[in-house]
Structure 1
Amino acid sequence: MFINISFAPVETAFREFVRSYGFIFDAIKHVLLQGFLVPLENLLRSAPPWLVLLVVGLIAFHATRRWLPSLAFVLCLYLVGCFGLWDKLMSTTALMLVSTAMCVVIGIPIGILVARSNGLRAVTLPILDVMQTMPSFVYLIPMIFLWGVGQVSAIFAIVVYALPPLIRLTDLGIRQVDREVVEAATSFGTTPLQLLLNVQLPLARPSIMAGINQTVMMALAMVVLATLIGARGLGETVNQGIANLEIGTGLQGGVAIVLLAIVIDRITQAYGMDARQRRRLLYRGGGLPSLVRRAKPGEEA
């Protein structure tokens, strides 16, 4: 009744491709692993915990302009250390920082190009739809073929999984820049590069930061699955609890991931606020929900 369709030729072609160009992937693996991930992970793990907590507190205060939320974020990470998971927390943080940096380097330029071309947008959006709806486990298979089991495969799987929101929101933010502002800047003789750097990107910053926020959250969600292909970090604790039916161990790792997610989410949201929101937060105060509340039309700054 059904015609037999096999994907065996695809697998064969993929193997031949890897066999022919494997040296390129080995070079990428070496640069990414030895040039970025390993030095960063060693730096974070060798640094005194109090120094890391201090840096996080300063970054949080710079983002929120309030000491109470900053202290709460520091206490969240301190609690993870009390669980005995500090080294794994640093491994997860290094993995996320490298993955997020790659997403930013790849996603923002693509988002800019998509915002400038309706034709490219029509081609890109269906691809992003497929990337977002594809089961996350599927991304692990080709990465193992290309880079083997280990941290590098995990990084690229995270990048593919977490990239779409950043491209979409960068495109959306640039397209939502007021046309009158763009026309005014153009009338003053700005070049396309000046228009992008001095007008469009600053006005699109809240949307772009929202994309970075979503990318970081999706990268963190992928961390647990990435441990299945050799990634180190908090996901190992969760998988250990699942494999050994140790509820306490799994819950401990899960709570640690949630605490890390809260810290990253609030800091990135705070950096996504525009000038009006920052002034309101600085002079009027407000709790954590005020970090994501936008000013109503006509409301005083």
Structure 2
Amino acid sequence: MDLPKLPIGRWVETVEGWLESNAGPLFKGIKTLIGSTVNGLSDAFNAVPALLMIVLFTVLAYWIGRTRIALFTLLGLYLVYNLGYWEHTMETLALVLTASVISVVIGVPLGIGCARSNGLQKIVTPVLDFMQTMPAFVYLLPAVAFFSLGVVPGVIASVIFGIPPTIRLTNLGIRQVPGDLVEAADAFGSTPMQKLFKLQLPIAAPTIMAGVNQTIMLSLSMVVIASMIGAQGVGADVYRAVTQAKTGVGFEAGLAVVVLAIILDRITQNLITNKRKGK
């Protein structure tokens, strides 16, 4: 005897319909905020002459990292400019930065809460497992339903896909703070906020930054998928090249994504190293 099929799909669609009917103003506000942020960053990046931006990024890479990273930034970004993908690369950078900032703003406090409460951690952990294992394309369906086509559902999908490392490693970093230091802080009468901001977060900062690094990389990996629902940037060039079977164009656009990914990765990795050295 076959068991009846659970109507999970119908339940999900019912919840989706209820949210569309009752939370429309909230979704509209989120769409306006995120869309304005991405477009504002993109316009700001593209308002500055490309060669000047390349110099600024190179100086930033040298200040945070090393000479080799600065040299790669200079040559890599000039290659992107030479190939004609500068404007789209800046659009992609705006999308990634917006998604990463949202992930950090939500993920770090949630990670702190998990570190302080085992009960909250037990609730959040399976949710994070679900978010990391669910195919990314599934995120696009409710994102498009709530926010229509464009860059906003791409940012939302990137946040869902990229936020788990920030939450997990913030939780891990705070839990790894030596117990004797926490006891000493309690003995000196530190308040919970003083203990958090003056002891736990500074010690956990390298671990938290490692989570932020992973969040940025995961957000960047979503740019091509986001282009399928209208998000602009280099991902759209890659997607068009795939649909038109233009291998060369796809390789050039993919190269721009690789350059951006390496620069962001190396800069954040050096931030982690500097934190560990106490710089």
Question: CA 1:167/1:13 → structure 2, altered by over 3 Å: closer, same or farther?
Answer: closer
Worse-superposed segment, 70-79 or 120-129: 70-79
Deviations 1:227-248 (A, max 9, x none): 0111101101111111000000
Matches within 5 A, 1:36-185: 36-64=37-65, 66-185=66-185
CA distance in structure 2 between the partners assigned to 1:24 and 1:276 by the alignment: 41
Instruction: Say yes or no: does 1:226 pair with 2:226.
Output: yes
Amino acid at match of 1:79: L
Instruction: Give the deviation of 1:175 after TM superposition.
Output: 0.5
User: Within 5 A, what are the aligned runs for 1:222-301?
Assistant: 222-274=222-274, 277=277
AA matched with 2:174: I
* Counterparts in 2 of 1:194 and 1:11: CA distance versus 1, 3 Å: same
Identify the match of residue 20 of structure 1 among 22, 28, 50.
22
Report the equivalent of 1:10.
12
**4+ residue runs over 6 A deviation:** none
Displacement of 1:202 in angstroms is: 0.7
Q: Which is further off, 178-187 or 150-159?
A: 178-187
Unaligned runs of 5+ in 1: 280-301
Instruction: Provide the rounded CA distance (Å) in 2 between the counterparts of 1:178 and 1:144.
Output: 45
The answer to whether the 8 A contact 2:237-2:250 is kept is yes
Pick closer, same or farther for the CA change 1:83–1:19 going to 2, 3 Å: same
Opposite residue 214 of structure 2, the aligned amino acid is Q
C-alpha contact (below 8 Å) 2:206/2:275 kept by paired residues: no
Task: Say if 1:10 and 1:67 are closer, same or farther in 2 by CA, change over 3 A.
Answer: closer
- Partners of 1:106 and 1:40 in 2: CA distance: 20
Please say which of residues 139-148 and 46-55 is displaced more in the overlay.
46-55
Identity %: 42
SS of the residue corresponding to residue 129 of structure 1 reads helix
Structural RMSD (CA): 1.5
Q: Structure 2: where are the runs of 5+ without partners?
A: none
Residue 193 of structure 1 deviates from its aligned partner by 0.6
Per-residue CA deviations over 1:94-115 (Å, capped at 9, x if unaligned) read 0011111100100000000000
In the TM superposition, residue 2 of structure 1 has moved relative to its aligned partner by 4.9
Alpha-carbon distance in 2 for matches of 1:277, 1:191: 27
Residue 273 of structure 2: SS of its match in structure 1? coil
Measured in 2, the distance between the counterparts of 1:216 and 1:166 equals 10
Question: Are 2:69 and 2:263, in contact at CA under 8 Å, matched by a contact in 1?
Answer: no
- Distance in 1 between the 2:139 and 2:96 partners? 17
Q: How big is each residue's C-alpha offset from its partner over 1:147-172, in whole Å with a ceiling of 9 and x where there is no partner?
A: 11111111111000100000000000
Per-residue CA deviations over 1:173-198 (Å, capped at 9, x if unaligned) read: 01111111112222222211111111
TM-score, structure 1 as length reference: 0.88
2:225 & 2:89 partners in 1: Cα distance? 16
SS in 2 for 1:5: coil
Partner letter of residue 40 of structure 1? Answer: L
Distance (whole Å) between structure 2 residues aligned to residue 278 and residue 194 of structure 1:
19
Instruction: Say if 1:114 and 1:255 are closer, same or farther in 2 by CA, change over 3 A.
Output: same
Aligned length: 277
Q: 1:73-113 deviations in whole A, cap 9, x for unaligned?
A: 22111111111100000000000111111001000000000
Query: Structure 1 42/261 Cα, relative in aligned 2: closer, same or farther at 3 Å?
Result: same
